[in-house]
Amino acid sequence: MIGVSFRRPVLSSFCPAPIMTTYISQNAFWGLLISAVEVYKRECFGLLIGYRDRKGAQDMYIVEHALPFQTAGRRHKGVVSNPRAHRRIDRFLSSIPQLSVIGDFHSHTMWGYSKAASHPSETDLEGMKAENVYVILSVNDRLREVPWQYNDDGSLSGTTDDHYFRLTAYTVTRAGEPRRTPILCPYALGFNARPLRAIK
């Protein structure tokens, strides 16, 4: 298990924040995992495409696609995106009304024996905007099989054949404080479920 050393921001009890959830589609789930595995032990970076759905107290980010940036300069600690390529993609997406960028994602990977962090770095925080959602994928070598599950901190974790993943979604307050938002990914949980044997 990954030790998470992250200070939760103090929430004011007088101003309940709306319940924010990040829904990850099957498509986006595989997009995130494959992008991270492709460049593993370097970091991947990409855009989250979808929309924001608000119904009363329910506020949801619906992530339909995770689109990796092939031009991202990958280093072990951090990724730098290519600004010209970024602008080209922004322009392309702005011409397609069904697709809008609702945030981005990147991975953190293990280094020697130190496990990948699930919290945003100072540099990550600098790039975060209040209206967007950000997914950090922490990727480690798999030590044993762990079923996909939701964790108490709202993250989603589990293993594939070679890797242990933890997906954590963040928003940032106007004051720049990160907040985790619970991830909802029914597909990932169903992914462990074995079909029941048909009874004749």
Residues near Zn ion (CB under 5 A) are 121, 124
The minimum distance between CB 170 and Zn ion, in angstroms, equals: 10
Pairwise CA distance, residues 182 & 200, whole Å? 40
The minimum distance between CB 69 and Zn ion, in angstroms, equals: 14
Q: Do residues 159 and 145 make contact, with C-beta atoms less than 8 angstroms apart? A: yes
Q: Which is nearer to Zn ion, 136 or 184 (CB)?
A: 136
Q: Which is nearer to Zn ion, 64 or 124 (CB)?
A: 124
Q: Which is nearer to Zn ion, 104 or 124 (CB)?
A: 124
Output the residue with the shortest Cβ distance to Zn ion. Answer: 124
Q: Which is nearer to Zn ion, 54 or 129 (CB)?
A: 129
Distance, CA of 75 to chain centre: 19
The minimum distance between CB 196 and Zn ion, in angstroms, equals: 41
Pairwise CA distance, residues 117 & 95, whole Å? 36
- For residue 27, what are the CA distances in angstroms to 63, 107, 186? 9, 18, 12
Pairwise CA distance, residues 46 & 72, whole Å? 8
Q: Which is nearer to Zn ion, 121 or 192 (CB)?
A: 121
Q: Which is nearer to Zn ion, 60 or 105 (CB)?
A: 105
The minimum distance between CB 100 and Zn ion, in angstroms, equals: 23
The minimum distance between CB 185 and Zn ion, in angstroms, equals: 20
The minimum distance between CB 124 and Zn ion, in angstroms, equals: 4
Q: Which of 162, 124, 155 is nearest to 138 (CA)?
A: 155
Q: Which of 172, 155, 173 is nearest to 164 (CA)?
A: 155
